Amino acid sequence: MAVRSGLAFVLLINTGVVTCHLEGEAPKKIAIIGAGIGGSSTAYFLRQKFGHNVGIDVYEKGTIGGRLATVTVNGQEYEIGGSVIHPLNLHMQEFVKQLGLKHRKGVPEKVAIFNGEHFVFEETDWYLQDLFKLWWRYGFGLLRLQMWVEEILEKFLRIYKYQAHGYAYSTVEEMMQSLGGERFINLTRRSMTETLQELGISQRFIDEIVTAVTRVNYGQSASIPAFVGAVAIAGVQAGLWAVEGGNKLVCSQMLESAKVNVIHTTVTSISLQQSGNKPLYQVKYESENEGGYDFYDIVIIATPLHHETTNITFNDFTPPFTPFPGHYQRIIVSVVHGYLNSSYFGFPDPKLFPFATILTVESAKLFMLSTGSICPVNITTNYRRKQPQEAAVWKVFSLKPLAKEELKTLFRSYYSVQVTDWLGYPQYQSGKGIPPIILHENLYYLNGIEWIASAMEMSAIAAKNMALLTFNRWNQHLDMIDQKDLVHKIKTEL
């Protein structure tokens, strides 16, 4: 490798077009570590930006899809990780369209919020009645909350236009600043509770409705930062969808369409090797019985780099890297095939139990975050939800594995239980700022964006930014990075 660069350099000096050729020399090999939605969409966008000559290797130690995964119950698959997608998640929409996949629409359901003793909110068949109930109990909280989320979403949608024009950001903070100014940055630092209180939203509404939503989506209270809180609220809005056949199909099909080389092995270390004017990175890996290494011009890490989530070591970098501070939230997903114990929720007759999803508020009496009847990833046109007295497939979220007695409390009886123990998303209170994107000249990190909000679309946005950033930096298009005032610039460009 040293020879290649040295030779190129000599040739260039002789022809007298040093800068031009140095810029034009394309990267030969790129490594991506992790084949979740982040790594897979990075591969897809890199292929679009860098063309077909660059070799792209994607390392995956587990299964393709990462935190997008399914389990099989009775011959049908069910989502156990990232499951719902917002209608305005435009990258996810585009992937599904480009890959020829199909939308799987949600099946209507009724939701209730449980406090360990009784329901504090029950959805009915009557929309106006529900609104009236909410208004009566919480005042104008719901309306204010909706307007607040809409306003954030509207600004956030700017990212698609900026990315379509090829603009990239070197940090997550720059991206947020560009989308919504200092106000957006503040939303990642101040708590949801504090921010909503300032909007005049009642404590009761925060404790009952907002908390139920942050618990089911992030396993945490409403004291998480306001921005991720807004993403959680968007995650219960109307029009949510998923991918027919399972969300993880997006990952495998993107990797296939990008014609990358998927290597099923665990990356153990990344070391810096200097080579002429550009650094070269050695990626070492280890499988059950063999190990090896390879060299890359660009390396992109698409998996969380925190103490409990990774063992990858970094060698020969000065100053040395260590995992980022802050922890990932443990979240247990139990998929139970059985009969719900409706008595536990105050409905002795199971036939009369109308709810498919039960959310919860904070209470010492509760051992779960939520319980919901779920639909398989393939839905036929005549699919219907099970009647409440029938056996169904339920998904229970909890912070600790459910004890036998707890399962026996929640279910009258059951056929099977499948437990997945995730390190699901950042524990937002434990963070100390947002990790960087650029770790070294051509060594990058994707998952820092999870610290403003962890969601499939956030990883896809980070992935598109990654492809644009690596491309713009490699080709010295510095005017396409961290540009201020894009709102006005793009208007005049059009």
Ligand X SMILES: *[C@@H]1O[C@H](CO)[C@@H](O)[C@H](O)[C@H]1NC(C)=O
Ligand Y SMILES: Cc1cc2nc3c(=O)[nH]c(=O)nc-3n(C[C@H](O)[C@H](O)[C@H](O)COP(=O)(O)OP(=O)(O)OC[C@H]3O[C@@H](n4cnc5c(N)ncnc54)[C@H](O)[C@@H]3O)c2cc1C
Q: Choose, by CB under 6 A, the member of 111, 113, 267, 407 that binds ligand Y.
A: 267
- Residues 139-178, one symbol each (x = binds ligand X by CB under 6 A, - = not), give ----------------------------------------
Interactions with ligand Y, residue window 274-333 (CB under 6 A): 302-303, 310, 312, 331, 333
Q: Which of 397, 3, 365 is nearest to 220 (CA)?
A: 397
Q: In what helix (H) or strand (E) does residue 233 lie, and over which residues does it extend?
A: helix 226-234
Tell whether residue 409 is a contact of ligand X (CB under 6 A): yes
Interactions with ligand X, residue window 85-114 (CB under 6 A): 102
Token duo for residue 304: 């969380």
Nearest residue to ligand X on Cβ basis = 245
Closer residue to ligand Y (CB): 120 or 369: 369
Stretch that binds ligand Y, among 178-186, 317-325, 336-344, 450-458 (CB under 6 A): 450-458
Q: In what helix (H) or strand (E) does residue 293 lie, and over which residues does it extend?
A: strand 291-296
Q: Choose, by CB under 6 A, the member of 360, 370, 454, 472 that binds ligand Y.
A: 454
Interactions with ligand X, residue window 203-262 (CB under 6 A): 244-245
Tell whether residue 447 is a contact of ligand Y (CB under 6 A): yes
Interactions with ligand X, residue window 334-353 (CB under 6 A): 341, 343-344
Closer residue to ligand X (CB): 206 or 226: 226
CB 373 within 8 A of CB 394: yes
Stretch that binds ligand Y, among 35-43, 170-178, 180-188, 369-377 (CB under 6 A): 35-43
Q: Which of 357, 380, 361, 377 is nearest to 369 (CA)?
A: 361
CB 162 within 8 A of CB 168: no
Q: Which of 305, 264, 302 is nearest to 285 (CA)?
A: 264
Neighbours of 370 (CB within 10 A): 22
Closer residue to ligand X (CB): 52 or 404: 404
Among ligand X, ligand Y, none, partner that 344 touches (CB below 5 to 8 angstroms by kind): ligand X
- Residues 288-327, one symbol each (x = binds ligand X by CB under 6 A, - = not), give ---------------------xxx----------------
Q: Which of 363, 371, 364 is nearest to 345 (CA)?
A: 371
Q: In what helix (H) or strand (E) does residue 443 lie, and over which residues does it extend?
A: strand 443-445
Q: Report the b/e string of 287-299 with b at 16+ CB within 10 A.
A: eeeeeeeebbbbb
Q: Which of 180, 183, 207, 182 is nearest to 193 (CA)?
A: 207
CB 85 within 8 A of CB 247: yes
Closer residue to ligand X (CB): 31 or 187: 187
Closer residue to ligand X (CB): 274 or 378: 378
Residues at the site binding ligand Y, with contacts judged by CB under 6 A = 33-39, 59-62, 66-68, 81-84, 266-267, 302-303, 310, 312, 331, 333, 422, 424-425, 447, 454-457, 459
